[in-house]
Amino acid sequence: MDIQIQWFPGHMAKARRQVQEALKLVDVAVELLDARIPLSSENPMIGQILGNKPRVIILNKSDLADPGLTKAWQKKLERDQVKVIAVDTLKGEGLKEVPKAANLLVAEQMAKLAAKGRRARAARCMVLGIPNVGKSSFINRLVGRRATKTGDLPGVTKGQQWIRLEGSLELLDTPGILWPKFEDPQVGFKLAVTGAVKEQVFDVYEVALKLLQWLVETNPEKIKERYRLTDLNPDRVGLLSDIGARRGMLVSGGAVDELKAAHLILKEFREGTLGRYTLDLPR
């Protein structure tokens, strides 16, 4: 079943123009991807905008992704002028590698400036990514203080802000940017289940059913264990109803509130309660 999902608010078009204008001010781009969906969370417009600009790719939320597949993605994505770092922002894992990688990428450029008699300065980095990939939380943890407004909803950061990381980097925070049309319905689905698009713009029930089917095919024992089910109903609608019933999600008359159960599936997947999964596989 294909699920068509599109979301491109007006402020994202404005943000794209702001990024293009600010690009000449920065030395290196720091692009955050969701480690669970490195391919689907990579905005093709960002690649077009950045061109050959040196780049540090952050595989964020690596604590929620399959560790082996995260390593495979690191190997696949790293290339000349591109460094790839797996980061768990909550625990701070991988963050110390970011300034090192950024400064390494711009070392030659800085040496040329020094040779011309220019005063030494911190490397300037632009932080980019789609909504809800964790940019603000990443910056706050990297800087070591609450430097930007954060939230768990897509599109919290509306403007651009410069943040100084003492001694080594200057960071330019930018709003999350999606692209106007998801050509592949699977991309829209993966962005929905990981929380990159607002739930108001897609059918939560249908997306949860599709996710549940994928989880059953991927790790059925985990579903049994989590929801205390002896057997898994082969019908996914029936299975969702069984899960809702086990959790006491009932309405008057004893019927199961299936929409509430659908929200539960999405929530527990996003929190990692159902396991560590990577939906995009390296090709």
- Selection from 48-52, 199-203, 267-271 with the highest mean pLDDT: 267-271
Residue with tokens 């608010």: 9
Residue 35, domain member (yes or no): yes
Give the pLDDT confidence score for residue 62 in this predicted structure: 97
Integer Rg of the chain from CA: 21
Cα(111)–Cα(106) distance, rounded to whole angstroms?
Answer: 9
| Contact call for residues 44 and 51 (beta carbons, < 8 A) | no
Please tell me whether 267 is known to bind a ligand.
no
Q: Is 133 annotated as a binding residue?
A: yes
| Mean pLDDT calculated for residue range 149-170 | 61
Same domain, 100 and 212: no
Per-residue model confidence as pLDDT tens digits over 240-250: 999 999 999 99
Q: Which residues pair with 195 in a beta bridge?
A: none
Total number of domains in the chain: 2
pLDDT of the residue at 277: 97
200 in Cβ contact with 256 (< 8 Å): no
The predicted pLDDT at position 157 comes to 46
Residue 26 assigned ligand-binding role: no
Report whether 63 belongs to an annotated binding site.
yes
- Does 272 belong to an annotated binding site? no
Sign of the dihedral through C-alpha 225, 229, 234, 238 = negative
Amino acid at 120: A
How far apart CA 3 and CA 117 sit, in angstroms, is 57
Band of the pLDDT at 3, cuts 50, 70, 90?
low
pLDDT, tens only, 44-54 = 878 888 888 89
Mean pLDDT over all residues of the chain? 85
165 and 63 in one domain? yes
Domain annotation covers residue 2: no
132 annotated to bind ligand? yes
Q: Is 61 annotated as a binding residue?
A: yes
203 assigned binding-site residue: no
Read off the CATH number of the domain in which 223 is found. Answer: 1.10.1580.10
